[in-house]
Amino acid sequence: MIFFTRFHKPHETATLASMYKPSNVGINNYKSLITMWEENVAIVREVSERSPGVTYQELLDADTHPVPNVLRLESTKSYGPDEFPVARYTTREWHEVEKEKLWSRVWQYACRVDEISEIGDYYIYEIVGKSYVVMRSAEDEIKAYPNACLHRGRQLKDYDGRCSEIRCAFHGFAWKLDGELKEIPANWDFPHVEGESFQLPEIKVGIWSGFVFINPDPDAEPLEDFIGELDDHFKEWDLERRYKEAHVAKVIHANWKIAQEAFCEAYHVVATHPQIMGYLGDTNSQVDVWDNFARVISPGGTTSPLLKYELSEDDKLRTMLDVRHDEELPVNVPEGETMRAVAAQMSRERWRPMAGDWVDSMSDAEMMDSIDYTLFPNFHPWGAFNRIVYRFRPNGDDHRSSIMECIFLAPYPEGEKPDPAPIHWLSDDENFSDATELNMLGKVFDQDVFNMAKVQTGLETTQKTGFVLSNYQEAKVRWLHQKLSEWCEEE
């Protein structure tokens, strides 16, 4: 069943996507078609159907430790028509709309506070052909500036680093760290330039849990308001008290949404990651949607309902640890216990040297489950000790390629915080599995990336004008497109 927030004839919903066939969309009428699409994307779908097998909440009922309230929350929502337009991935026109309506107005993660910890430290953040300098301008102050000299427009900074002033390499115009004009070489020739009017313009900055966000829109709401209740969700896990253990980035030959959406549902596990079906309840994932954020929680230590045979508790553990059948397990699951509980305790002991006795208050769910949050449009912090943070963005101004980043945020023992890891850029010929700091996760990423360019090619080739999403399992992808519609709508 589908509920409509506006009245439309049923056949209109089914045929709207057909108008988005790239060959049918001219530049002159593209914006009017977007407007028509916005009116239809506000459909709210009924999502009562669920996968057979144990539900996520039933797994929580059997936890050996107290479960935090945040995991008991449920917010089931699903948006949109039966099909969404392929043009969102394939046309330059839609990319230009995103540039104007989304990336120039939305809060976006730039760097960690630790990466600009000393006065004068700066980090360059780039998005859709624009560049920004995010800088520690004072001990308790972080500012961001457009990366452009006010004289002739040359980029002020070419790479991350530390400086005592902001000096253009072209003619030598210079500014203090707080943006005040410091020097104009041969200033006698610029009587028309007044210091006040030559202050570097500032970009809005916000900080959440050790992450530095920027927003190019001077009228943007405060970051705290944009994040909303997400802050309450993460109070359990304190991401500020983590250090950047690893940071791996790679250019993907697909639109940024194709890369991102591969990590927004577990439905693909059966075909893309069949080796993990023995210990991941893929189709029993819980999907929750709020306003500017959503999450998918995929339970670990339980088998996929799509698996055609039963596994013993020991075999579930063997599958998770990737131990061959002719090898001994490091530990066996005692009779009457579950692999989920045993593996959770193993995880507690693994993290005890870094996190101390904090691990004893963590539930089996926090030790075992993939708790994948997404803050719109492209920021993915994971809950508990998963360590993972993803970011996906367009690769420069190219709508057919993107940058995928995986960051590990790890706890550390009491004392001095370790320095943040530098970005490890993978070349076109390198795989994520070549980044040894990602451990076994790199192999999983390789499986995901294997699909991405082929999805882009398929969408460029298909004679279908829309793509189809499930009601519940892909509800997070539906939410992303609903939010895109809200941000990119015509005024």
Residues 394-433 have pLDDT tens digits of 999 999 999 999 999 999 998 889 999 999 999 999 999 9
pLDDT of residue 412: 92
pLDDT of residue 38: 52
For 34, 102, 175, 263, 378, the CA distances from 106, given in Å and listed in that order, are 19, 6, 27, 21, 10
For 59, 115, 366, 377, 403, the CA distances from 399, given in Å and listed in that order, are 41, 29, 37, 16, 11
The token duo for 329 is: 């397990």
Q: Which of 25-39, 161-175, 179-193, 444-458 has the lowest mean pLDDT?
A: 25-39
Residues 109-146 have pLDDT tens digits of 999 999 999 999 999 999 999 999 999 999 999 999 99
Per-chain mean pLDDT for the chain: 91
- How far apart CA 463 and CA 86 sit, in angstroms, is 10
Q: 231 vs 80, which has greater pLDDT? A: 231
pLDDT of residue 34: 53
Closest CA to 125 of 114, 112, 138, 111: 111
- In the chain, % of residues over pLDDT 70: 91
pLDDT of residue 414: 86
Q: Where are the domains of the chain?
A: 2-106+221-488, 108-215
The token duo for 451 is: 């699909």
> Of all helices (H) and strands (E), which one includes residue 221?
none
What distance lies between CA 60 and its chain's CA centroid? 26
Q: pLDDT confidence of 28, banded at 50, 70, 90? A: very low
Instruction: Output the pTM of the full model.
Output: 0.90
Q: Which amino acid is at 20?
A: Y
Instruction: Check if the beta carbon of residue 373 is closer than 8 Å to that of residue 294.
Output: yes
In angstroms, how far apart are the furthest CA atoms of the chain? Answer: 87
Instruction: Check if the beta carbon of residue 375 is closer than 8 Å to that of residue 230.
Output: yes
What residues does 424 pair with on adjacent strands? 248
The token duo for 16 is: 């709207």
Q: What is the mean pLDDT of residues 325-329?
A: 88
Q: Which amino acid is at 142?
A: I
Residues 275-302 have pLDDT tens digits of 999 999 999 999 999 999 999 999 999 9
CATH superfamily of 108-215: Rieske [2Fe-2S] iron-sulphur domain (2.102.10.10)
pLDDT of residue 369: 97
What residues does 172 pair with on adjacent strands? none
The token duo for 445 is: 């990423």
Closest CA to 166 of 194, 129, 124: 124
pLDDT of residue 41: 58
pLDDT of residue 3: 34
| Count of C-beta atoms within a 10 Å radius of residue 448 | 17
Inform me whether the pLDDT recorded for 326 exceeds 90: no
What distance lies between CA 253 and its chain's CA centroid? 18
Instruction: Check if the beta carbon of residue 426 is closer than 8 Å to that of residue 404.
Output: no
Instruction: Check if the beta carbon of residue 459 is closer than 8 Å to that of residue 89.
Output: yes
Q: Which amino acid is at 397?
A: D
The DSSP letter of residue 418 is P
Q: What is the mean pLDDT of residues 32-47?
A: 61
Inform me whether the pLDDT recorded for 151 exceeds 60: yes
**Same fold for the domain at 2-106+221-488 and the one at 108-215?**
no
pLDDT of residue 410: 95
Inform me whether the pLDDT recorded for 21 exceeds 90: no
Q: What CATH architecture does domain 2-106+221-488 belong to? A: Alpha-Beta Complex (3.90)
pLDDT of residue 25: 47
Instruction: Check if the beta carbon of residue 262 is closer than 8 Å to that of residue 448.
Output: yes
- How far apart CA 65 and CA 434 sit, in angstroms, is 37
Q: pLDDT confidence of 5, banded at 50, 70, 90? A: very low
Phi, psi of 449 (to 5 degrees): -65, -30
Residues 435-462 have pLDDT tens digits of 999 999 999 999 999 999 999 999 999 9
Inform me whether the pLDDT recorded for 22 exceeds 60: no
Q: pLDDT confidence of 379, banded at 50, 70, 90? A: very high
> Residue 24, SS3?
helix
Q: pLDDT confidence of 84, banded at 50, 70, 90? A: very high
% helix, strand, coil for the chain, step of 5: 35, 25, 40
* Contacts with 181 (C-beta within 8 Å, 6 or more apart), sequence order: 173, 174, 175, 195, 198, 199
Inform me whether the pLDDT recorded for 42 exceeds 70: no
For 92, 196, 255, 272, 451, the CA distances from 458, given in Å and listed in that order, are 17, 53, 12, 17, 10
